[in-house]
């Protein structure tokens, strides 16, 4: 598996945009002035090294830098030859000073071009930025370059330059054995201005709008899974009703947004409070569920099943697979980069907490025996949010349900291969993060996670407004306080005050790169809070949005539909009732002009590190993959947004460059969105990444 690159102390990730392959000769026409100083290495300092360029790298490889006469144009080019590398990378970058590093303007986009030859597939265009307050920091990796015996050209388009950035530096990183030669670097400002979209929809232009659908949900939807055919699997099981468990009456349904119809599905067992995740082939793995509710005499509490099923969207049938090693009522469910699924936590068949780690092998299509799975015998609680990191480790964010957080700091990094758990510091109020929600922020290449809200059903304190942010690329990751959630209004019309916030919150990754949060309640199964907001990961700010008129607290879920809207279901107050209304949120971006359309996809079966061609009916400035939801109890640890570097060929033809690291985008089906300069997304096209 390819390693990510690193410049000095910064870990690299794979992301970004590419564009504009115009090069047919040695003197191509560019959109603007070339901002690169000494782009062809023609001038050198007293040591013979090109002026305004510097060596950079780390690890155990042996590297030879040389100014070679095997040039694309002019007299010189730059050669980087790496041998014996098992860790690390090497590269030549524009020198980090005001003379050599190109000046940039925040919110603008730039095309970066280079001619190259390469004997290795392990190369990637890497960029760093100068933050006027923090100094030079790693920014992003762009397109992975295929080997080339003769000179080839590539151009990559940056995303919008982040705030507080005045300069960038970039080059090509070599992270494997081989020789890279580069020449004739170019950089030009190619900002596509927004037209404003001409919105005439009033408040919806800035806050969006909600619609309560004119029909009721036929099942108590505690669990919602978006399927790769665009439909939604809604599972209730016994629906938090002990009488239905006793009667063996279990329910689930498939909702089709295209026709607004529900199909009832035969449900073989009580999947209430199960875990679920999409498998690489698009089927859904469902694990555990409710064996029993608490006994009236107090002899036992909730008990977890050991059974497990796979739901096939094509047949709409549940098929049983082998049993798990333990019961896991309220388990985690995380797909790994190899397609296997890891599960932790929950309650066993005897109501005690499970310390058994479980691994579902996609190769064998079964749960592995306990003695074939690494065990730390650690208890992560109920619905512990376990997020896959780019290096294959799992980050336990601190989000959970029912009571206090885990011992120690409340958050940790779990290394399956080393079989170790290391506490992560900085999480605020770890014991009031019950029914909080965690999300990997867009793009996944940034490796930043946010946790928001939460309370404690036992102490029944007011739910909090706090959020925390962590950069998992850092040498020693630690949470830092984020902005407070906006305050909302409760069902009695009273405004929240002070630090009052919400638990049972939902977060949804949107195609424009923002995070929509909605729903929640102030206390355990009571006092719903009517508040929704949009989080901007770049600006690190929340902006209040229109609110769902239906309360959405315990056993509610919100998730992205392939048409770019958000669907919300559920609410299970303390009186045992269940709200069967369905709400649809239309984000502001759908009021800002015509949507771009994906008119053709050359191939819907995508491989890692590949370039995939699509056609659009109008210009776009970004493209991304969004993993479909599998959400319950404010938990969807597999939710992620993966940027796709793009190359525009003209005539609406666009090449999308797929990340080579499956830990960034675990195998399976994804929604492919394109977005124009007004921030308006297309309807998604389903693609299968394997």
Range scoring the smallest mean pLDDT among 74-83, 431-440, 520-529, 644-653: 644-653
Show Cβ contacts of residue 671 under 8 Å, excluding neighbours closer than 6 positions: 560, 562, 625, 626, 627, 628, 684, 685, 686
pLDDT score of 652 more than 90: no
369 has pLDDT over 60 = yes
Banded pLDDT at 624 (limits 50, 70, 90):
very high
Q: Residue 402 class from Cβ within 10 Å (0-12 exposed, 13-18 middle, 19+ buried)? A: middle
Distance of alpha carbon 215 from alpha carbon 238, whole angstroms: 22
CATH-assigned architecture of domain 598-689? Sandwich (2.60)
**pLDDT at position 590 over 60:** yes
- Residue range 52-80, pLDDT digits in tens: 999 999 999 999 999 999 999 999 999 99
Who wins on pLDDT, 651 or 10?
A: 651
Predicted pLDDT at 32 = 59
Average pLDDT of the chain, as a whole number: 93
Three-class SS of residue 79? Answer: strand
For residue 4, is pLDDT > 60?
no
- Residues in CB range of 74: below 8 A, 6 or more apart: 40, 42, 183, 184
Asked whether 597 and 616 are in contact (CB, 8 A), the reply is yes
pLDDT bracket for residue 510 (50, 70, 90): very high
Distance, in Å, from the CA atom of 314 to the CA atom of 282, rounded to the nearest integer, reads 10
Could you read off the pLDDT of 493-505 as tens digits, one per residue? 999 999 999 999 9
Predicted confidence (pLDDT) at residue 593 exceeds the cutoff of 90:
yes
Looking at the chain, the whole-number percentage of residues with pLDDT higher than 70 is: 95
Do residues 552 and 572 lie in contact, with contact meaning Cβ atoms separated by under 8 Å?
no
- Is the predicted pLDDT of residue 19 greater than 70, yes or no? no
Over residues 411-466, the pLDDT tens digits come to 999 999 999 999 999 999 999 999 999 999 999 999 999 999 999 999 999 999 99
Nearest to 625 by CA among 592, 583, 672, 589: 672
Task: Calculate mean pLDDT across residues 77-92.
Answer: 94
Predicted pLDDT of residue 142: 81
And the tokens for 622? 């970004």
Structure confidence at residue 9 as a pLDDT band (50, 70, 90): very low
Domain ranges of the chain: 6-189, 598-689
pLDDT score at 141: 81
Cα-only R_g, the chain: 26
Q: What is the pLDDT of residues 109-161, one digit of tens each?
A: 898 999 999 999 999 999 999 999 889 988 888 888 999 999 999 988 887 88
Distance CA 558, CA 573 (A): 17
Helix (H, G, I), strand (E, B) or coil at 159: coil
CATH T-level topology, domain 6-189: Jelly Rolls (2.60.120)
Is-cis flag, bond preceding 672, omega within 30? no
- Report the C-alpha gap between 542 and 430 in whole angstroms: 22
- Rounded to a whole number, what is the distance in angstroms from the first to the last CA of the chain? 13
CB-CB contact of 291 with 329 (8 Å):
yes
Mean pLDDT of 569-587: 97
**What's the pLDDT tens digit per position in 551-563?**
999 999 999 999 9
Q: What is the pLDDT of residue 24?
A: 26
pLDDT greater than 60 at residue 274: yes
* pLDDT tens readout for residues 301-355: 999 999 999 999 999 999 999 999 999 999 999 999 999 999 999 999 999 999 9
**Nearest alpha-carbon partner for 171 in 191, 151, 156, 189:** 156
Cβ atoms of 600 and 615 closer than 8 Å: yes
């Amino acid at each position: 598996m390819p390693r990510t690159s690193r410049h000095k102390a910064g870990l690299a990730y794979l992301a970004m945009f590419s564009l504009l392959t115009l090069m047919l000769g040695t003197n191509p026409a560019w959109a603007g002035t070339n901002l690169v100083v000494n782009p062809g290495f023609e001038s050198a300092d007293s040591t013979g090294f090109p002026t305004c360029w510097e060596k950079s790298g780390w690890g155990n490889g042996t590297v030879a830098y040389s100014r070679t006469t095997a040039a694309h144009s002019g007299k010189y080019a730059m050669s980087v030859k790496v041998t014996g590398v098992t860790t690390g990378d090497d590269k030549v970058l524009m020198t980090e000073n005001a003379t050599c590093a190109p000046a940039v303007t925040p919110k603008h986009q730039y095309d970066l071009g280079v001619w190259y030859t390469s004997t290795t597939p392990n190369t990637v265009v890497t960029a760093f930025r100068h933050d006027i307050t923090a100094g030079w920091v790693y920014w992003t990796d762009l397109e992975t370059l295929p080997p080339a015996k003769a000179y080839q050209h590539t151009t990559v388009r940056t995303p919008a330059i982040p705030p507080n950035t005045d300069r960038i530096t970039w080059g090509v990183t070599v992270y494997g054995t081989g020789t890279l030669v580069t020449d004739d670097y170019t950089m030009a400002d190619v900002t596509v201005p927004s037209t404003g979209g001409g919105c005439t929809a009033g408040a919806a232009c800035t806050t969006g709008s909600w619609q309560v659908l004119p029909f009721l949900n036929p099942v108590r939807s505690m669990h919602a899974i978006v399927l790769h055919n665009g439909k939604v699997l809604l599972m209730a099981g016994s629906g938090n009703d002990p009488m239905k468990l006793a009667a063996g009456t279990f329910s689930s349904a498939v909702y089709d947004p295209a026709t607004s119809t529900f199909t009832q599905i035969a449900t073989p067992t009580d999947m209430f409070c199960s875990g679920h995740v999409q498998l690489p082939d698009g089927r859904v793995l469902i694990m555990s569920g409710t064996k029993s509710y608490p006994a009236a005499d107090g002899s036992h509490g909730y008990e977890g099943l050991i059974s497990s099923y796979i739901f096939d969207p094509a047949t709409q049938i549940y098929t049983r697979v082998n049993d798990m090693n333990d019961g896991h009522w309220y388990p985690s469910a995380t797909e790994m980069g190899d397609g296997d699924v890891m599960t932790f936590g929950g309650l066993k068949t005897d109501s005690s907490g499970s310390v058994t780690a479980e691994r579902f092998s996609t190769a064998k299509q079964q749960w592995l025996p306990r003695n074939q799975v690494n065990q730390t015998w650690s208890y992560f609680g109920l619905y512990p949010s376990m997020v896959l990191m780019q290096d294959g480790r799992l980050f336990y964010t601190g989000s959970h349900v029912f009571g206090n957080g885990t011992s120690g700091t409340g958050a940790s990094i779990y290394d399956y291969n080393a079989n170790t758990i290391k506490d992560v510091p900085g999480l605020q109020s770890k014991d009031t993060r019950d029914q909080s929600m965690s999300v990997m922020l867009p793009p996944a290449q940034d490796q930043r996670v946010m946790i928001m809200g939460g309370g404690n059903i036992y102490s029944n304190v007011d739910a909090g407004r706090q959020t925390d942010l962590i950069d998992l690329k850092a040498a020693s990751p630690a949470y830092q306080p984020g902005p407070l959630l906006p305050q909302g209004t409760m069902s009695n019309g009273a405004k929240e005050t002070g630090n009052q916030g919400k638990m049972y919150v939902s977060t949804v990754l949107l195609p424009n790169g923002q995070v929509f949060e909605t729903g929640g309640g102030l206390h355990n199964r009571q006092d719903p809070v009517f508040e929704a907001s949009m989080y901007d990961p770049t600006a690190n700010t929340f902006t209040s949005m229109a609110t769902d008129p239906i309360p959405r607290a315990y056993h509610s879920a919100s998730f992205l539909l392939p048409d770019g809207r958000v669907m919300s279901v559920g609410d299970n107050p303390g009186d045992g009732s269940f709200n069967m209304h369905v709400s649809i949120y239309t984000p502001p971006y759908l009021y800002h002009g015509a949507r771009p359309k994906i008119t053709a996809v050359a191939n819907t079966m995508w491989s890692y590190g590949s370039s995939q061609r699509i056609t659009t009916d109008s210009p776009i400035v970004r493209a991304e993959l969004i993993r479909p939801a599998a959400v319950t109890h404010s938990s969807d640890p597999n939710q992620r947004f993966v940027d796709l570097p793009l190359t525009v060929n003209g005539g609406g033809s666009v090449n999308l460059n797929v990340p080579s690291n499956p830990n960034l985008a675990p195998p399976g089906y994804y929604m492919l969105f394109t977005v124009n300069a007004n921030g308006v997304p297309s309807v998604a096209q389903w693609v299968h990444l394997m």
